[in-house]
Chain A
Amino acid sequence: NAGVTQTPKFQVLKTGQSMTLQCAQDMNHEYMSWYRQDPGMGLRLIHYSVGAGITDQGEVPNGYNVSRSTTEDFPLRLLSAAPSQTSVYFCASSKYRGGTDTQYFGPGTRLTVL
């Protein structure tokens, strides 16, 4: 199993550009989520999905869109990049959504918006 994979590893954008961060998992996990990590703030939830076709907002959803057409893939779209979106983005997955279920993280994407 490759686990959770993310591409690209690094990305530089100009303000106003759009792009998609890719996330895939091969563990047949139902639950997938996107977090951003900013210095001194831990990780904050952007969007999550409990299965194909079902997504919802987390703590900091503004400026991001998601979709989940398959169990394996959960891309994150930045609609119009802003410098405030400079961050490290992590995708995570778990078998279920329960409190007892461990989330496994991808390697992260480091995004810089100029």
Chain B
Amino acid sequence: AQKITQTQPGMFVQEKEAVTLDCTYDTSDQSYGLFWYKQPSSGEMIFLIYQGSYDEQNATEGRYSLNFQKARKSANLVISASQLGDSAMYFCAMRGEDTGGFKTIFGAGTRLFVKA
């Protein structure tokens, strides 16, 4: 069965510093996708970054990068140069072929607080 684990319920980071949000996953699929979403206090789910299981390079999108370690089954999100607007809930998610790709599994989330 697929599972996503986010072990950090809350994180604090100083403005302009980098922060890493942890995510580990479990799947028996060979082909899968890993996603990070941001949920600000307004409630919407904003797609940040995607990593495919066969991608050899770590994904990057602006200040976001995904540290993908396939053997360890980890997909940590790195936010560089944190901004006050980065304060939000962050969800790691996985979509695989185990159930025909229909199901996206989400972790419980990490709440990030950026301090001025």
Query: Is B truly associated with A?
Result: yes
A41–B4 Cα gap in the complex (Å)? 11
Chain A 31-63 interface 0/1 with B at a Cβ cutoff of 8 Å (1 = within): 101010000111111001010000010110000
For residue B108, which residue of chain A has the nearest CB?
A42
B53 located at the interface, meaning its Cβ lies under 8 Å from any Cβ of chain A in the complex:
yes
A112–B68 Cα gap in the complex (Å)? 39
Inter-subunit contact B95/A99 (CB<8 Å): yes
Interface residues of A, count at CB 8 A: 30
**Which residue among B32, B47, B95 has the maximum number of chain A CB atoms within 10 Å of its CB?**
B95
Among all A-B residue pairs, the 5 with the closest Cβ atoms:
A42-B106, A105-B45, A97-B101, A43-B106, A99-B33
A83–B107 Cα gap in the complex (Å)? 24
**Which residues from B are CB-within-8-Å of A101?**
33, 95, 101
B26 located at the interface, meaning its Cβ lies under 8 Å from any Cβ of chain A in the complex:
no
Inter-subunit contact A99/B53 (CB<8 Å): yes
